[in-house]
Amino acid sequence: MTRKLYILNGSNLNMLGLREPHLYGSTTLKDIEQNCLALADTLEFDCVFRQTNSESQLIDWIQEAFLQDAALIINPAGFSFGRIPVLDAVKLIARPVVEVHITNIHRRSEEYRHSTISVAATAVICGAGANGYLLAIRAVEDLWGRQS
């Protein structure tokens, strides 16, 4: 059985490395993608890595992950805060769901502290920088093993 893993990224993450480097660092989303695909391959996941600035596109991809019986790592970015349609889509996922945030959202201003998506996540990783994605892949590996 091939294990599938979707890593989905929300709004403005295509600007990593340029956008607020004092918060997000200098690592680009392309760098993160390369590191994630390498680790996923090592752990024998068939991995899909995507980014969108469109909420409807993100929902379509989450539904696709559901239909593929895939685990999900999601950095919903701005779609984290009050986005019920994204939450409803994430609730479909039967495999592990790990929510990732590059910054520690709990140390940020109030509008960034409460991710709606967290209630549907199996685990949440925040504040570990770009490395949070790799931690999330390792968490999916561990959590998937517990589900089997």
pLDDT digits (tens, 9 = 90+) for 82-134: 779 999 999 999 999 999 999 887 776 666 657 789 899 999 999 999 999 99
The catalytically annotated residue of 101, 106, 112, 114 is 101
Contact 47, 73 (CB under 8 A): no
Contact 55, 84 (CB under 8 A): no
Statement: the pTM of the whole predicted model exceeds 0.85: yes
Domain 3-147 falls in which CATH fold?
Rossmann fold (3.40.50)
101 annotated active-site? yes
Question: CA 37, CA 46: separation in Å to the nearest integer?
Answer: 9
Domain boundaries, the chain: 3-147
The catalytically annotated residue of 22, 24, 114, 133 is 24
Contact 46, 4 (CB under 8 A): yes
133 annotated active-site? no
Report the pLDDT averaged over residues 66-81.
93
Query: Residue 50 belongs to what H/E stretch?
Result: strand 45-51
Cβ partners under 8 Å of residue 52, min gap 6: 8, 9, 10, 11, 58, 61
